[in-house]
Amino acid sequence: MTARDLVIRPQRPDSPGVVALLAELDAYLASLYEPEANHILDVQALLSSDVDFLVAECAGELLGCGATRRMPGEPATAGRAYGEIKRMFVAPAARGQRISSRLLAALEQRLQADGFALALLETGGDQHEAVRLYERAGYQRRDAFGGYPDNGLSLFYEKRL
């Protein structure tokens, strides 16, 4: 696969290929954390009008996905509205090709196009590849937000867009 072969585009999260990809992500998260420590948006929540869902594909094969959720301001963001990055995943066989970096950039561009200047996310501390991705992309550690518990398992990040 070359960089120009990769297509990042919107896709319904309830389509069969995406459902299978999300199930793979859920199984991975379940292998790392207890159910109460996983803060997952299910397919129904991903269909909400405040969520944009993107896939990365090559030659019709789904390789990854990610979403943004538009959120109102809250005390943890000093009242600033933000976009939350959710459901980032690249299939293990497709890793190492910078797909996640391109997918994350596309999600950030969508947020900027919607007028958001702040992206936030929560990830698990045991997801070392994700932590490296976000830090390389310019995300900085921050305090908990959005009602997430500060349970010692989660890491919270922000980036000014």
Give the pLDDT confidence score for residue 19 in this predicted structure. Answer: 96
Domain residue spans of the chain: 3-160
- Which pLDDT score is estimated for 4? 67
| Predicted pLDDT of residue 1 | 56
SS3 track for the chain? CCHHHEEEEECCCCCHHHHHHHHHHHHHHHHHCCHHHCCCCCHHHHCCCCEEEEEEEECCEEEEEEEEEEECCCHHHCCCCEEEEEEEEECHHHCCCCHHHHHHHHHHHHHHHCCCCEEEEEEECCCHHHHHHHHHCCCEECCCCCCCCCCCCEEEEEEEC
Taking CA atoms, 104 is separated from 107, 134, 138, in Å, by 5, 9, 11
- Top pLDDT among 37 and 10 is at 10
pTM for the model stands at 0.91
Provide mean pLDDT across the span 64-71. Answer: 97
Instruction: Name the CATH code of domain 3-160 (choices 3.40.50.720, 3.40.630.30, 3.30.450.40, 3.40.630.10).
Output: 3.40.630.30
Is the pLDDT reported for residue 90 higher than 80? yes
